[in-house]
Amino acid sequence: MSNQLDLSQLPGINLFSLKGKSAIITGGSKGLGLAMAAGLASAGANVMLVSRNASDGDEAAVQIAKEYGVKAMTFSADVVNQAQMEEMAKTAFTAFGSIDILVNSAGINIRGAIDEVKPEDFTKVMEVNVTGTWLACRAVTPYMKAAGKGSIINLASTLGLVGLSNRTPYASSKGAVVQMTRALGLEFAPFNITVNAICPGPFLTEMNLPIADTEEGKKFVVGATALGRWGELKEIQGAAIFLASDAGKYMVGSMVTVDGGWTAR
């Protein structure tokens, strides 16, 4: 066997190209969802920004299309509504001709001690974060199976891997997303569809603004990271591009932590 490298089999940066591919991003009108949508578009993907109110993402879609020369559109849907998730997938396929990537970024967080959180709030978090992710995955399944390819990226969390007090609804939901990702990764692998998850740490999104200046936020969140700071939205983009592209094709049921070293301690 020769030790000579065949560089034609090592395309390098071309592996990260998403040119000609199309992506659906739930929760795509703001925060990490919008950041990932912009990241995918920068690599050449057409994008659909999905939110409960599509107008929230209209300006962003216009900017993305202009900046990156791709197709960008918005769509109104509630991730917990099966019919709306199916219409989302149908609309994206009609508009783009394919559904190559799904990013499940829609999610909510309700904090509090277990005896302070209302049971209906616990149920709501589980419904949006877990059932919503499952329904979106289910909606794109026939399109990806028919194409014989696809990439699904779920947004789990470092709190799906480790614990933090006063977070039972959110941590439970993200732990479920971790296991969903593993199970669906195994289920979809024979169809050449990869399913993985990104586990973000402390990013200063709208969801985390309420604790940004609190003692808890400073000590137990940001203070616990190796880098000693909140993550910047752009710092989630690399992981999304990697998992959506051919560069991540050997990743199945994996959890990619982007947390500034929070879980390393």
Residue entry with tokens 């094709």: 249
Strand order in the sheet with 72-76: 72-76, 46-51, 22-26, 101-104, 150-155, 193-200, 255-258
User: Angle CA(91)–CA(39)–CA(242) in degrees, nearest 5?
Assistant: 100
Query: 49 and 73 in contact (C-beta within 8 Å)?
Result: yes
Q: Is 170 a catalytic residue?
A: yes
User: Angle CA(117)–CA(123)–CA(125) in degrees, nearest 5?
Assistant: 80
- Paired sense of beta strands 22-26 and 193-200, if any: unpaired
Q: Which of 68, 143, 170, 250 is an active site residue?
A: 170
Tell me the C-alpha distance between 221 and 200, whole Å. Answer: 12
Residues belonging to the active site: 170
